[in-house]
Structure 1
Amino acid sequence: MLWTRWIAGLVLVLGFALAQEGTAYVRFAHLVPDAPAVDILSGGNKVFEAQAFKDVTYYAEVPAGSLTLTVQTTGQNPAKVADVNIRVQAGKYYTVMALGTASTLKARLVEDRIAPAEGVAKVRVIHASPDAPAVDVALKEGPVLFRNLAFNQLSGYGTVPAGVYNLEVRPTGTRTVALPLEGVGFEGGKVYSVFAVGLLAGETLEVIVVEDSFASP
């Protein structure tokens, strides 16, 4: 199985001490369009279950320090995909992103800044479409808000006034609209990650907007 072959042995490491006291917060984003649904386990217990393409979980509380997440296919006869080793710091929030395609799989651990700003929204953009070029995200027929993001890159968090926006995803440096985004709403005092996902070749490009906040199901 290509998914298994390419993710096997994956190690994500942050430069923190091996053992720390306290709690960190981790979520999982399945951004691989042709990969199967998976379960995520820690210590033999399911942390996230049946995560399919475009699913972004809530944050789970985990012990700070070194942590092994086991990824396995979902179903009655699950197959182990990989053990993913991460190191996380107490009091911080992270997203483990599965990126690419089943044959060119990448994974990335990123820190999330979920502290809100009063009266405005905080927004970042993650380019997770493996065959799309570098892009700008702009107001419709207007200025660029996030510039020159290539696959597997993410912007910093920017602040925008609360409201509903018509946006455009454009190939970097052009005014050509690759993907129109009508009616995207951001509430004041909230934090968002905007994931550009899917495949250009398959004409399945789309955007998913996820609130970065600590909430359990």
Structure 2
Amino acid sequence: MKRFTVAVLTLVLVLAMAMPTLAANGKARVRVVHASPDAPAVDVWVNDSIKAFTNAPFKGITAYAELDPATYNVKVVPAGATTPVVIEANLGLEADKDYTVVAVNTLANIEPLVLVDNNATPAAGKAHVRFVHASPDAPAVDIAVANGGPVLFGNVPFKGVGDYLPVDAGTYDLEVRLAGTTTVVLSVPGVSLANQTVYTIFAMGLAGGSPALAAVPSVDAAPMTMLPVSGGAMDFTPILMGLAGLSLLGSGAVLKLRKR
């Protein structure tokens, strides 16, 4: 694997203004992440009648949408087209739960990875962070604090999830290593984790090709109103995309990390 460096991290803030930090009042919330490296921008149709997302690009992360609990039929097609249908799935949503649906793998093998999110507010002085391995040609990896710091998520394979970890709020230099080694394949400096905020960091792209391997972080929930920020245009009405097939790994440890 080649080594790549992320010089500047641009957080994709996916909270809509005045959006609650987790599902409530009997509703479900869903968002979509486009992590298929060679797939074009896509449109997402719901129940054959609602064009839920338009022209969603690679690395695009939508805001959460609040929905009634139900089962929805979802079709994903190239932007501006009606065929081919690259994903067709039924997504069952339960009341008072948040979901992230990640379109993963190469276009020839594209599939949905459905995650149940925990957007409960962290304790004062803490942030919660999880890691999703969405790079189809990358081997299992460790996520660690740089310069000899602790491993946060160990031996995470493709489509694996390092579940929520409470850490002290602050700014950290992180690195992605080949699992069980000190070989750094991706440097991720300057990761700012704010007080009482929930984050997911996605590994996207290709370890041995283009688009290159990259860390794509998102703010999942925060205790205050935050304006959406994105590195590129994305026209969508947030609703949903997905299928069953939960992939969750547990971790209850609280670590004291070395900050910058």
Do both share a fold (TM > 0.5)?
yes
C-alpha distance in 2 between matches for 1:213 and 1:166: 22
Q: Do 1:132 and 1:200's aligned partners in 2 also have CA atoms closer than 8 Å?
A: yes
Where in structure 2 are the equivalents of 1:1-217 lying within 5 Å?
22-43=26-47, 44-75=49-80, 77-81=81-85, 82-118=87-123, 119-141=125-147, 142-202=149-209, 204-213=212-221
Displacement after TM superposition at 1:130 (Å): 0.6
Residue-by-residue CA offset, 1:20-57 (whole Å, 9 max, x unaligned): x9421111111001001111222412222211110111
Q: Percent identity?
A: 41
Q: Do 1:59 and 1:216's aligned partners in 2 also have CA atoms closer than 8 Å?
A: no
Count of matched residue pairs:
196
Amino acid at match of 1:205: L
Displacement after TM superposition at 1:79 (Å): 2.6
Displacement after TM superposition at 1:91 (Å): 1.1
C-alpha distance in 1 between matches for 2:119 and 2:193: 14
C-alpha distance in 1 between matches for 2:204 and 2:41: 16
Displacement after TM superposition at 1:69 (Å): 1.8
Residue-by-residue CA offset, 1:75-113 (whole Å, 9 max, x unaligned): 2x4435143201110111001111110112221111011
SS state at 1:89 partner: coil
Residue-by-residue CA offset, 1:122-156 (whole Å, 9 max, x unaligned): 00000000111100011112221111100000011
Please give the TM-score of this superposition, normalised by the length of structure 1.
0.84
Q: Do 1:132 and 1:199's aligned partners in 2 also have CA atoms closer than 8 Å?
A: yes
- Which protein has the bigger strand share? 1
Displacement after TM superposition at 1:72 (Å): 2.2
C-alpha distance in 1 between matches for 2:114 and 2:150: 30
Amino acid at match of 2:134: A
SS state at 2:108 partner: coil
Runs of 5+ consecutive residues of structure 2 not aligned to the other structure: 1-24, 229-260
SS state at 2:27 partner: strand
Please give the TM-score of this superposition, normalised by the length of structure 2.
0.71
Q: Do 1:47 and 1:60's aligned partners in 2 also have CA atoms closer than 8 Å?
A: no
Moved more, 121-130 or 205-214: 205-214
Poorly superposed stretches of 4+, deviation over 4 Å: 214-217
- RMSD between aligned alpha carbons? 1.9
